[in-house]
Chains A and B, each alone.
Chain A
Amino acid sequence: MLNYVIIGNSAAAIGCVEGIRKLDKDTPIVIISDEPHRTYSRPLISYRLGGQTKHDKIFYRGENFYTDNNVSTLLGKRVAKLNASSVTLSSGEEIAFGKLLVATGSKPFVPPMTGLDNVKNKFTFMDLDSSIAIDGLVTNGAKSALIVGAGLIGLKAAEALLLRGVAVTVIDMAAKVMPSVLDDEGSALIKARLEQNGAKFILGTVADKFDEATAYLKNGDKVDFDVLVLAVGVRPNTELVKEAGGEVGLGIKTDKFQKTTLDNVYAAGDCTESFDITAGKDKILALLPNAYLQGEAAGVSMAGGEMPYDKAIPMNAIGFFGLHVISAGDSMRTDGKVYAEQIKDKSGNVTGYKKLVFGENKLVGYILIDEVDRAGIYTSLIREQTSLSDVDVTELEKSPRLMLYGKSYRKEKLGGQV
């Protein structure tokens, strides 16, 4: 067979290589990515900036990964067009493929804002190069930052910059932080933790206009900054598939083997839609574990095997200054039973909470803040859609323990092969 070609060099791409190599040890794989670096962990760009990890620890796989897996790389090259059995690079070069994976991830979404062109030090904080560039500015004396967008990426950038001693202001159109993941109570806890560590929030407003180093907000405030981070949102990179005539909805559409509607073309990761089994609908799940699992499933299929990826659920593990949040499934659902409990410290202050959301005889979502140990036991109940008739619900509400399962489960799972 002809080469496998993968566009992208991140979690989904690496999952695909590892999936292919389960079945096919020989056929060459070509990875094409417009980023010049060997595969690195995208989430670690904030940890690198904050000094929480070192540059040489940000790489997602070891140095020999490509040679060990018979992968050749074309880095710093952009795919401009997808043809029936080849891709065309922006240089004009054509690379033929037998099977292709599109793992192009997402791109930042920057709404039009007056005067943005005047700002020199602006970044979207989506890649290693932006992290390195901001690092350079801070090292050279940048003292203040404005972050537009209080989602995961914006707040991770805020944490990193605060750790570097930079004065950080975060603004968002929404009235709370991380609105897509957290309810009001959870959101308030995260905001408070960041505030305790120096962050200033201006919520419920937008930037109207920019000068080179000043933002004028709609509410009348004026914020000066040395560095501007635009983290309003991300959108899937679907153009290549769309222009080639493949089906695209919110993201690239695939079947459960990650195949697109185009012959021999698969897609995985942030650029695709996934069927969220907890919400019962297609969604963009722009998360690293999802990207890897989809990539791996695609790789196995491309190599002729079958590994359906049909248990996609939203899930998040995030932390800011030691306050951890773990959530999974449809945790914002309000039409079913909800079990909620606050977690307090010795003086009675609320430090976190537990919220379990139930659907038709099953757990469909949860949020744990501060006390997050063994959360995966809950995730598993959701992922496997375990019937509540098979578990001890009182035990389940108390804490995530395997004791909630019956004896036969324990015999099978703890006593046998899993």
Chain B
Amino acid sequence: MKKVYVNEEWCLGCHLCEYYCAGMNSGERDLVKAFSREKKPLPRIRVEEGTDVNFAVQCRHCAVPYCVKGCITGALSVNDGVIVCDQTRCVGCLTCVLSCPYGCIVRDEEAHVITKCDLCLSRNATPACVEGCPNKAIVLEDRE
């Protein structure tokens, strides 16, 4: 299965992927408009900055998904290898935040739910982070 990978040698730490991810997944095609809304859209990818290295990280869609196995409501499930969240069943208990080894579950505090990378399946498009990365550090590849 194709997943998103980040080449840390190429990551500039520019955070553009976060903007593309948040904006494109907000349902608003225009980034400026998306970020002018009262409720700021949330990125599901996160850039970690270090002294000499930066990298972006988002859901690894693990083969042993502790988030799914531990989900107390059944909101998280695996759909053809992609871990997805049914927000109508999520109560924001954060058991998945407790469980995820990569820290890739994002809290939507206002809505009392979590959100996460679904490889842009719900947008039915190439992941926005991959498309938007100016240095091609983020790629969609099958490494199985």
- Residues of A in contact with B (beta carbons under 8 Å apart): 11, 15, 41, 43-44, 47, 52-53, 57-61, 288-289, 292-293, 296, 315-319, 322, 324, 326, 328, 372-377, 379-380, 383, 400-403, 407, 410, 413-418
A60 touches B144 (CB 8 A): no
A57 to B69: give the CA distance in the assembly, Å: 18
**Which residue of B69, B99, B107 contacts A376 across the interface (Cβ within 8 Å)?**
B99
Residues in chain B near residue A53, CB distance under 8 A: 73, 89, 91
A57 touches B95 (CB 8 A): no
Residues in chain A near residue B109, CB distance under 8 A: 322
B:52-90 near A, CB below 8 Å: 53, 55, 57, 60, 62-64, 66-67, 69-70, 72-74, 88-89
A401 touches B102 (CB 8 A): no
* Minimal beta-carbon separation of A291 from chain B (angstroms): 10
List 30 A–B pairs whose Cβ atoms lie within 8 Å, in order of A's numbering: A41-B72, A44-B91, A53-B89, A60-B74, A288-B72, A289-B72, A289-B95, A289-B99, A324-B94, A326-B97, A372-B97, A373-B103, A374-B103, A375-B94, A376-B66, A376-B100, A376-B101, A377-B102, A380-B101, A402-B55, A402-B57, A402-B102, A413-B102, A414-B5, A414-B6, A414-B57, A414-B60, A415-B7, A417-B63, A418-B64
Known A-B contacts A41-B74, A288-B72; the reply to A319 vs B93 at CB < 8 A is yes
**Ordered nearest first, which 8 A-B pairs have the shortest CB separation?**
A374-B103, A289-B70, A380-B101, A376-B100, A317-B98, A317-B95, A60-B74, A317-B94
A416 touches B143 (CB 8 A): yes
Residues in chain B near residue A315, CB distance under 8 A: 98-99
B:82-135 near A, CB below 8 Å: 88-89, 91-103, 105, 107, 109, 112
**Which residue of B5, B60, B69, B73 contacts A293 across the interface (Cβ within 8 Å)?**
B69
A138 to B93: give the CA distance in the assembly, Å: 24
A61 to B72: give the CA distance in the assembly, Å: 11
- A-side binding surface: helix, strand, loop or mixed? mixed
Residues in chain A near residue B112, CB distance under 8 A: 52
Say yes or no for B48: interface residue by CB 8 A criterion: yes
A324 to B94: give the CA distance in the assembly, Å: 8
Residues in chain A near residue B98, CB distance under 8 A: 315-317, 326, 328, 372, 375-376, 379
Residues in chain A near residue B97, CB distance under 8 A: 317, 326, 372-376
B103 touches A43 (CB 8 A): no
Residues in chain A near residue B6, CB distance under 8 A: 414
A317 touches B144 (CB 8 A): no
A288 to B70: give the CA distance in the assembly, Å: 7
* Minimal beta-carbon separation of A32 from chain B (angstroms): 21
Say yes or no for B28: interface residue by CB 8 A criterion: no
- B-side binding surface: helix, strand, loop or mixed? loop
Residues in chain A near residue B105, CB distance under 8 A: 376
Known A-B contacts A319-B93, A376-B97; the reply to A292 vs B62 at CB < 8 A is no
> Interface residue tally of chain B, by bracket?
35 or more
A377 to B62: give the CA distance in the assembly, Å: 14
B:27-71 near A, CB below 8 Å: 48, 50, 53, 55, 57, 60, 62-64, 66-67, 69-70
A379 touches B69 (CB 8 A): no
**B112's closest neighbor in chain A, by CB?**
A52
**Which residue of B88, B99, B144 contacts A57 across the interface (Cβ within 8 Å)?**
B88
Residues in chain B near residue A413, CB distance under 8 A: 60, 101-102
A376 to B101: give the CA distance in the assembly, Å: 5
**Which residue of B48, B91, B144 contacts A417 across the interface (Cβ within 8 Å)?**
B144
A319 touches B48 (CB 8 A): no
Residues in chain A near residue B55, CB distance under 8 A: 402, 410, 414
B103 touches A15 (CB 8 A): no
**A47's closest neighbor in chain B, by CB?**
B91
A401 touches B8 (CB 8 A): no
Residues in chain A near residue B107, CB distance under 8 A: 373
Residues in chain B near residue A407, CB distance under 8 A: 8, 53
* Minimal beta-carbon separation of A362 from chain B (angstroms): 15
A57 touches B89 (CB 8 A): yes
B103 touches A296 (CB 8 A): no
A144 to B100: give the CA distance in the assembly, Å: 39
A265 to B50: give the CA distance in the assembly, Å: 52
* Minimal beta-carbon separation of B80 from chain A (angstroms): 15
A401 to B102: give the CA distance in the assembly, Å: 8
**Which residue of B5, B69, B70, B94 contacts A415 across the interface (Cβ within 8 Å)?**
B5
B92 touches A319 (CB 8 A): yes
* Minimal beta-carbon separation of B92 from chain A (angstroms): 7
Given contact pairs A15-B69, A375-B98, a sample of 8 additional A-B residue pairs in the complex whose CB atoms are under 8 Å apart: A57-B89, A293-B70, A319-B94, A375-B103, A376-B67, A376-B100, A376-B102, A379-B99
* Minimal beta-carbon separation of B95 from chain A (angstroms): 4
* Minimal beta-carbon separation of A269 from chain B (angstroms): 13
* Minimal beta-carbon separation of A409 from chain B (angstroms): 11
